[in-house]
Amino acid sequence: MAYLELAKVSKGFGPPSQRTAVLADVELAVDENEFVAILGFSGSGKSTLVGILAGLIDPDEGDVMLANKVVVDPGPERGVMFQNYSLLPWLTVEGNIALAVRKVMPGLSRVERAEYVQRYVDMVNLTGSEAKCPDELSGGMRQRASLARTLAMRPNVLLLDEPLSALDALTRANLQDEIVRIWEEDKRTVVMITNDVDEAALMADRIIVLTPGPRATLGPSFDVDLPRPRDRAGLNRDRRFQALRKRITGYMLNFTKTQAGDEARSRRRMPAIEPRVFEAA
Amino acid sequence: MKYKILKAIDVSGLTFLAPIVRLATGEEPDVQIRAIMQMIVVPIVAFAVFVGLWSQLAPRHKTKSGEVPTPAVVWDAAQGIWTFHAREGDKETAYVLAGEQRESALMAAKDRLAEIDPLTELADRQVADAEQEKSAQVAELTAPLRTKLAVVSERYGADQAARKARWMERADRTAVSDTDARLALLGAWNEHDLRTREEREELKNLRAEIDTVGAQAFPALSAAQKAQTAIAEERQFLRKRIEVLTAYNRNEKARAGEQQLADLRSKYLQADGGAAMAGLAANIARTRTRVESIRESNYARPYTLPMQILRSLLCVFVGFLLGSLIAIPIGILCGLSPTFMAAMMPFIALFKPVSPIVWLPIALIVVGGFIPDPDDHWLINGFAGLPLVGWMKINPAFLASAITVALCSMWATMVNTALGVASIDDDHTNVARMLRLSARERLFRIVLPSALPLIFAGLRISLSVGWMVLIAAELLSSSEGIGKYVWDMFNNGASDSFAKMFVVVFVVGSIGLALDRIMIVFQRLVSFDGAPTAI
């Protein structure tokens, strides 16, 4: 029985006369403690999907179900880690986390709360930067703080909205490992949005492709049957990984081709260059 | 250390100090010297040019209140204001001094008076000398002109008489029938009349020229007169001080009263008959009350400019506080609810452009209605009981001025608060929704902190508007303060009143500048990076 479900969810924007359907008939079922990556093109409605899962956006049709109950409003049991961090700039790292902790665990005493916050600060390796404000932190540190705040809410479902897309490659790799490590220590249901096939394959149990919009919907799901812990360096040589990546990229390139063809027919001539898949040796 | 200082400079907005600190620590001297030239030297040079132009141009414009004062005169006036303030303070303390302190103060005053007596004579003599010298010099300068005047006026007198005589002669010879000749004579008279008027004009110009020479500024004389006035003023002050230290002193007066009381008591004890005793008893009671009130009394000190500045500052803060207490809550409601904003819009649009000159009389009447008896009202008594501001005698005029300040200055805060609350980042709202913050928590933990930089930007505008409005309001309402000081100076027509008004210009400007700086510091302290503050 799936833990988190989307049932026939549709969402559009704009006035009724010329409404653009962003998502149409989205069906999703995520098991408890499963790590699902949703892979999508830019502009395909990934953030809208997270918004709907979090309850921040009301779907036009369909329902969000959590443990077989329909949920409507946002809540701390579905913790979102936003793409642009969404830290409150007037609070320190500690203050940002404490704000969430105070709300989720109102019973804690001041000392208990400070200890609790410290534990999450340590968990994301921000020790020493507790008293800094977000604008004094680098992008990676801000994202860690955001992660700590989300984790500190002890959500049943963790929703990660392209959490690493704004970071440089090194920081990104670092945080990928970190998130996986934390998830393995303290399992919970995760839905991660990304546009990076490697990232998805490295981190997730299952990858679902979001077809390009408008009227985007979830395509086939690819199981990632690579054993954990996964080794970043070794992965590129792993046959199964290569095959998986080829399948997913092939599926996605198919869309690109169709789209390019559509565009060529409708508007402009595209240069006669065909993208190819280069396989790693 | 260096970075701490630089940070403090940055927060306080005194950025012109930064290059000096950097230069002192040897950081890129070329760049710093260029920055110092631009940020410090250029403004100083510009100000010096301004003062130079001012001192050159001011004396050329004569007005009913004398020449436009030069910077030097204005500086003297500023010192005069301060001396007056200090002397009034001296008298105030002298009034309550007792015992040895009084004795020694009295001695000092008498000594000083004895010291300046010969100086007075000297100053008088110097003025007389200077006057003599001036008249001699004027006489010498005007001698040729006066000779010319005498000669010319004599000649013109003779000419006129001769012309008239000739005309009469011709007229006598003209027959009645000779109409043409008579008409020609009429023309000749007109000509004579014209000549006479021209000659008179010429003489008048000559006299004016002599007067101009006599009225020329004579630095030696004005310096001597200034010294004389200064000594005369000090003498007058010392005499008054001695008076306040002796007969007029609070404790001396009380002692005299006690003496009188003792006399009356002994008389009463000896008195015969009910009627006489009753009269004395009433007298004793009256005298005792008087002595008690003398003991409580203080020197009736007139308001001096420094005191008026303090009162103006209190007034602007009361008005500013009142305005902010109205503006911020309404601004928050406007920002939170577009409906409430729509409801408030007509009021904001309608009342914002109204001038303080219109608000003030209305405020005066409304406040007067609430406070029918200013001598016995809880609000007035409450202010009088406060430390630090009790002496300022808060009255309805003060309250009306403060209300006017509030009515004129609150709009900037209101509009900015509404903007700040309405433009809260969607991401922050999403965080609040995800955490299921209650309305209260949302307001105090998310909305207000994110709107704070803009609220403070509004407060800063409000305070500077309020300070401008206040001077006009005080001038109109006669509430003791800087505005009233200007009005008094405009009306009293003393020789240095005009210069004192110029002093006020600089005082008001400097205080306005300081208030703005303080608000900038607050604004910087509540701002976080990326907050919209540039308004």
Count of CB pairs separated by less than 8 Å, A with B: 58
For B70-114, the DSSP string reads PHHHHHHHHHHHHHHHHHHHHHHHHHH--HHHHHHHHHHHHHHHH
Q: Is the Cβ of A106 closer than 8 Å to some Cβ of chain B?
A: no
A183-211 tens-digit pLDDT: 888 888 999 998 888 888 888 889 998 88
CATH of domain A4-231: 3.40.50.300
pLDDT, average across residues B53-59? 89
Look at residue B2 and tell me whether its pLDDT is greater than 80: no
Mean pLDDT is lowest, of A222-231, B358-367, B369-378, for A222-231
Q: Is the Cβ of A95 closer than 8 Å to some Cβ of chain B?
A: no
Q: Where are the domains of chain B?
A: 2-60, 99-231, 249-296, 305-526
* Average pLDDT, rounded, for chain B: 89
Look at residue B303 and tell me whether its pLDDT is greater than 70: yes
Phi-psi category of A43—alpha, beta or left, where left has phi over 0 and alpha has psi -120 to 50? left
pLDDT, average across residues A116-126? 88
pLDDT at B324: 96
* Average pLDDT, rounded, for chain A: 83
Look at residue B216 and tell me whether its pLDDT is greater than 60: yes
Tell me which of B325 and B383 has the higher pLDDT. Answer: B325
Look at residue B122 and tell me whether its pLDDT is greater than 80: yes
Tell me which of A275 and A223 has the higher pLDDT. Answer: A223
Of A84, A89, A100, which has the smallest distance from its Cβ to B528's Cβ?
A89
Asked if B434's CB is within 8 angstroms of A88's CB, the reply is: no
**Residue whose C-alpha is closest to residue A204's, from A145, A160, A139:** A160
Tell me which of B117 and A262 has the higher pLDDT. Answer: B117
ipTM over 0.85: no
Look at residue B350 and tell me whether its pLDDT is greater than 70: yes
Look at residue A269 and tell me whether its pLDDT is greater than 60: no
pLDDT at A213: 67
Q: Where are the domains of chain A?
A: 4-231
CATH of domain B305-526: 1.10.3720.10
Look at residue A52 and tell me whether its pLDDT is greater than 60: yes
Residue in B with minimal Cα distance to A55: B434
Residues 21-80 of A with CB under 8 A from B: 54-56, 73-76, 78-80
Q: How far is A146 from chain B (nearest CA, A)?
A: 11
How confident is residue B353, by pLDDT bands cut at 50, 70 and 90? Answer: very high
Asked if B430's CB is within 8 angstroms of A56's CB, the reply is: yes
For chain A, the DSSP string reads --SEEEEEEEEEES-GGGPEEEEEEEEEEE-TT-EEEEEE-TTSSHHHHHHHHHTSS--SEEEEEETTEEE-S--TTEEEE-TT----TTS-HHHHHHHHHHHH-TT--HHHHHHHHHHHHHHTT-TT-TT--GGGS-HHHHHHHHHHHHHHT--SEEEEESTTTTS-HHHHHHHHHHHHHHHHHS--EEEEEES-HHHHHHH-SEEEEEPPSSSB-EEEEEE--PPSSPPHHHHTT-HHHHHHHHHHHHHHHHHHHHHHHHHHHHT-PPPS----PPPP-
pLDDT at B373: 84
**CB contact set of A30 (below 8 Å; sequence gap of 6+):** A2, A3, A4, A5, A36, A157, A189, A191
Look at residue B319 and tell me whether its pLDDT is greater than 70: yes
pLDDT at B533: 44
How confident is residue B534, by pLDDT bands cut at 50, 70 and 90? Answer: very low
pLDDT, average across residues B231-249? 89
pLDDT at A259: 63
Look at residue A42 and tell me whether its pLDDT is greater than 80: no
pLDDT at B68: 85
Q: Is the Cβ of B445 closer than 8 Å to some Cβ of chain A?
A: yes
Look at residue B511 and tell me whether its pLDDT is greater than 90: yes
Look at residue B173 and tell me whether its pLDDT is greater than 50: yes
pLDDT at A267: 53
pLDDT at B27: 81
**Residue whose C-alpha is closest to residue A159's, from A18, A56, A274, A262:** A56
Residue in A with minimal Cα distance to B531: A89
Beta bridge partners of A9: A26
A243-256 tens-digit pLDDT: 888 888 888 877 76
Look at residue B535 and tell me whether its pLDDT is greater than 50: no
Residues in chain B closer than 8 A to A157 (CB atoms): none
pLDDT at B337: 93
